[in-house]
Every structure is written in structure tokens, then in C-alpha cells.
Structure 1
Amino acid sequence: MTPEQFNSTDYLPRGCYPWPDLISPHAEQMGKDMDGWIDNDYTFLTEKQRKIYKKMELHMCTARMWPHLTYEQAIPCNRFMLQYVALDDQVEHSSLEEIQELRIRCTDILRGAQAKPEENALYHHMAMIRDEFRAFMPDLWFDRFVYYFYQSFRYGIELEYPYKIAHRPPSLNLYKTIREYSVLMRPYLIFGEIESGLVLPEHIFEHIVVQKMISHMTLVVAWQNDLHSLPKEMAKGTEVFNLVFVLQQEYNLSLEDACAEALRIHNEELASLNDLHKEYREFGEYQEHVDKFVYYAGVGLQGVNTFYLETNRYKHGGVGFAWPEDNHAANNSL
């Protein structure tokens, strides 16, 4: 199989998960909102980058992952979708120190610091996200969101850095450990608690079974992402942080065999999630809360897969990706 012959639909087709494939009734307005943010606020990006981000239609990821949100609830979720994706994309060529500074600053803003007038939209929108979530979600949930943001950045993006610089993938075992965080899905998964109106109490959320299910959910999305983003990453030529590339290195596999093994790992992850949820039913009065948490997260897993199949973001040749432009970034520090 040549790179041009690869089609992620052959591995993860639409509707391949045991949850409904839905879309928010507010999707059209959410798209208008996001285009407005890109045009009017994200002016630190080049005109070319802004056009590419609009073509990605990232609002559809929000609309498909959390279709039950009210429009008011969807606004900060949609805002965070753009903010976090752009943030992750645009640190591609940043130093580790710059990445760490960005994480510290964004976390400080989430915890109450004010964005400075000279700071770009990534910081100002983070402050808006904070205020919008705090308007309708309890402190317990918001603190959870902040921690998951920090955790994904600190143990995901930052731990990837030395391998990306060396153009050398880690072992499969270490890759799986880091990828659970670098896929950046943990803060998104708890948006299902907004939809259900049932925020898990801390002693339930921290339960080892709930945490293990969250790990499985996160890794399902990681393996989705690695398969769907493969055309873009093969075009780059220097990307090493993808399950397919790691498997090729670890076992000396062809592209076709590595993709088949990646799908097997994905399917095993999904089965482990569903088996664990089915077997452990010891949450007492909170069992319904946990069941709804898994259901809404499952709709999210289904929804993000559909988004991957529809978006321009991962087109062959990397033409749909908003690659950082070094000359522009030098004059507009993140």
C-alpha cells in the first residue's frame, strides 16, 4: 500500500461505534460564531492560516461530539475547540521553554488572571472560556476542567517535544503512555457532564474504574486521530508521533500491516472500555451518573470520528492543515 492509497474510512467508517451519530441543532450558528472569531480575533494568524482554519469547520467537531448542549452551553465548548486546536498547531516549531511558558500563562488565566491587552486571542479567549463556564458550571467541574487542561499540556505536548526534535519515535509502551495525554482529549471528555447535568462527585470521578474508563476513552480517540491524520503526517515527512509510525519502527512492519495493527489496538481499547463499564456496577446511587457519563462520552467518540471523516484538516499532502509560518511567528510570539 502506498501513502496515496491509504483511506482512513477503510479502517474507521462512519457509525462504527455503539452510540448514536448525532449533530447539534445549533451547528450552523456555531459555525458563524467560529468564523467570526477567526476573522476578528485570531489576527495573529496569517490570512492563509485563517482561511485554512475556516475550511476545517472545527465547530462541527463540537456539534458532533456534544449534540445535546444548549446554544449557551455550546459557546465556551466551541470557543475552546478553536483555542486548543490552534494553540496545539501553532507551537509546532516552538522551543520547549516557549511551550512551557504558554502552558503556565494559559493555566494562570483559567485560574483567574486577566489577559493583557497586548496578548493575542489565544489568551483572551481563554479568559472568556473561564468566565463563560463559571457562569453555569459548579467550581468542582471547573477545577476538573483546569486540571485536565494542565495535565494534557504538561504530560502530553511537553513530553512529545524531545522525540519530535530528534525525529525519533519512543517505544510502543512509552508512546501509549504519552499519547493518552498528547491527544488533548481529557478536558473535552468532561463536556458530557454539561450535557447530562450530572457532575460526578469527586469520590466517584476519582474511582479507579471511572479513571480507567476515561483512559480507554482517551486512547480510543488517540488511535482514531493517528489513523485519520496519517495522510497529513506522511506528507510532513518528519512526524514521528503516530501509532502507525511507532508500530513500523517497533516491529519493522509495512505501512499496510502497521495500519492493520493500529486498528486492532483501537478495537481492543474500545472493547476494554465497554467490558469494564458492563462488568463493574458497584456505584450504588451514582450508577446512573456513571452510565450517563459513559453514554455522553460515547456519543463524543462517535461524533469526533464522524468529524475526522468530514473535515479538510487531514487531507493527503497536508494541504488542509494550518502549518505554523516561522517568519510570521517570529514577529507575533505566542
Structure 2
Amino acid sequence: MSITILGVETSCDETAAAVLVDGVELRSNIVASQVEVHKKFGGVVPEVASRKHLENVNPVIMEALDKAGITLRDITAVAVTYGPGLVGALLVGVAAAKALAYALDIPLIGVNHLEGHIAANFLARPDLEFPLLCLVVSGGHSDLVYMPHRGVYQPLGRTRDDAAGEAFDKVARAMGLGYPGGPLIDKLARQGDPEAIKFPRAFLEEGSLDFSFSGLKSAVLNYLNRARMLNEEINMADLAASFQRAVVEVLVDKTIVAAERCEVKTIMMAGGVAANGGLRSLLEQRAADVGCRVVYPPLNLCTDNAAMIACAGYYKFLRGDFAPLTLNAIPGLPLGEDRY
């Protein structure tokens, strides 16, 4: 008998629903983006995001079901992101999923957002062999996670301040590029010289696998302010390339150290910044030098989506890891610590 998972994702500014059959057959993956709504603010406004989720969640779920060619009665279980994320946004998805699980009398599965990003890799490569190392890089997260077995997550390092994606967005806004900043800086960086401007790299104390990008962000802002006060011409392509290289080098260096420390042969990437061309290129190059391969999801599964939540939910379903109908949103939910 087939296992059909309905995934629901509303952790930030994307209202998403997807239908996944037996962990590999993605029947639908619908995403209602709020980028245009938040672009004028230069970033996500939590209250606005929550209200848009309320408008979109039911139509998006029904569209996912229609595209998959099924009805609500065909769903085996519903999986939903319950943290981390914006609390108001999370509550919308959790409430919708709980209502469906109750009305249909089917299992409810609570999924950690980071677990979802990691699981996106298994949609394209369900045969990945453990142990694995995953670099999770997005607007809110910069994490290194060791996975000795499926469903076991051992955090090795995390951001202490600005996440990589957050730094990209803030620098892009200061440069006048717009929102979201990651893709815009990545595109502009291809035209610039990554060695043109010497920005700092924060490696922290010896042996640490944590990340810190707030100092780099401040260095870029200071560079821009000084140049503008002195009426100096700014080569934006060189600035984008130099900033991006400073971020990427730290991410890659620490990932390689972790891979060697954990003796893994495969490094996964996940999250929106995993779509960054500079990061992919340098990590693949450095990984090859130490005998590792690098895998990452298709571009459309790097950013927030519900297919990844359905995939994580599928493996939790196989383990019988279900959530009660008292499931609540937990904005600061740690990876690997389900709190039902």
C-alpha cells in the first residue's frame, strides 16, 4: 500500500504544500511566494507574512491535491513544519495541518524546518549512504550537522550571530540591489574580482566549527560608507565578489574540517544559500581534494518548499514518529530535539 504524505510549510514567507508518494514520487509541489510583498520593506515583515499565510494556506493545499490528482481522503498522513521560524507564520501551517489530521483521522507529523532542508537531498538521491555531513545555509541558519544514521542529527557548528543568507540580504540592501539579496549578489559577483577588496574572515577560536558573519557585514557597510563620504567610485561587481568570497571561504573551510573530523565521504548542502554558484564551486573543488563528493538538491528544492517537509515526514512516518494534536509552533526549535 502506498504512503501518501501531504507536506505543509509556512515557517517564513513562503506558503507551500506538496504531495509525496512513497518518499520518492513527487506528485505536486506548490509554493506561493511573498517576495513581491516584502520586497518594498527590504526584508520579511512577520505580521504581514502571517496574514498572507492565512489567505494562501487553504488554496495552496487544494492546488497541491488537485495537481497530484488526489483528494483529501487519499492522504496517509500530514507533515508540517512546527519550528524553527516566525511564530505567527508557523502557527498558520500547524493549525491547518492539525485540522486536517483531526478531520481525516490520520497521523500528524511535526517536522523541524532544518530537517526538511536536509531531507530535500533524499528526494533526488534516496540511496545516499550514511554517515553524512550536511552544511545547512539559509536566511536564518548556518549549521554543520553530522548524521551517523537516518534521523540522527549531531550539530557540530552553528551561527553565533548573522546567518550567511541574512548577511547576503543585508549587504545587498546596503548596496541598493534589492531583496532577496543572495541571488542578486551571486549574479553580480560573477562579473567581479573576488580578490579586489580584502574583507575579514571570522574563523573564531581554534577548532571551532561555529560561524559568525556580523563582523564581515559591518566591514562591508563601513567600506560603503567611507567610499560614499569620500565620493569614491565603488565597483559594485568587485564588492559583491569580494564579499561573497569572504563568506564562502569560511563556510567551505569549516565544512572540510568537519568532513575530515567525522570521516565522511559525502557532504550534503541544504538551504537557500546552497543555490549559490560560488559556494558550490569552491566546496566541490575543496571536497575533491580530500576525497569527498558534494551533493545538493535541485535549485527549486533549495529554497523553502513543502516537498522537503513531506520527505522528512515520510521517514518519520516509517519510524512511527507522530505528533499529538496538541502540537504547537516552536520558533526556536533545535534540530534533533522534537518537542511534542
TM-score norm. by structure 1 comes to 0.33
The structure that is helix-richer by fraction is 1
Larger radius of gyration: 2
Q: TM-score normalised to the size of structure 2?
A: 0.32
Higher RCO by CA contacts (8 Å cutoff, separation 6 or greater): 1
Q: Which of the two has greater strand per residue? A: 2
